Amino acid sequence: MMLAVAVLFLTVASAEAGPWWMRWGRGMPQGYDPKTVITLEATVQTVRPAPPMPTLDVATGLGEVVTVVLCPPWYLEQSGIRFTPGDRVLVEGSRVMEDSGRLVVVAARVQKVDEGVTLRLRDEHGRPLWGHMGGPMGSSGRGPMR
C-alpha cells in the first residue's frame, strides 16, 4: 500500500514539473489571454521542436531571451515553415510571466521577417487554428500559413 502511494505521489509530482505550457491538457491547455497581447521583433536563438508544444527561444533587441510557445508538432509540420537559429522573427502573442519571473509568449502569429512568410496559430479571439485536435486545418478551416 505504501509503495502505491509513493508511486502515485511521484507520478503527480513529475506531471506537475516544468513550465505550465509543457503540461498540455493539464488545466491551462491554451494559456492565451487576448488582453495581454504584445508584438516583438527578435532573433531565433534555439528551436525546440519536441512535443507537446514546440518552442523558440528568441532574443530581443534589448538582449532579453523570451520563450515563444507555438503549436502541436503536426500543425507546425503541416505549415512547411522551418525556424532556424539566426532567423529574424516578428512574434504576436499573449505575454505570460511564469512563477519564476521568466517571460513566455503564447504565439498567435510568427512571421519570418526575411522570407515574409507568417505562421498563423490563433484567430483574433486567441482560439487555436488547429481546433480541438480534430484535424489538420483546425476548426476555422484555414491553414497555418498566410
d(Cα 89, Cα 61) in Å, to the nearest integer? 12
Model confidence pLDDT, tens digit, residues 1-12: 544 434 333 333
Decide if 93 contacts 107 (C-beta within 8 A): yes
Parallel, antiparallel, or unpaired: how do β-strands 103-112 and 65-69 relate? parallel
Domains and CATH numbers, the chain: 2-120 (2.40.50.140)
CB 127 within 8 A of CB 138: no
Q: How far apart are CA 128 and CA 143, in angstroms?
A: 11
Which pLDDT tens digit goes with each residue over 30-71? 578 899 999 999 999 999 988 788 999 999 999 899 999 999
pTM for this prediction: 0.74
From CA 14, how far away is CA 132, in angstroms rounded?
A: 25
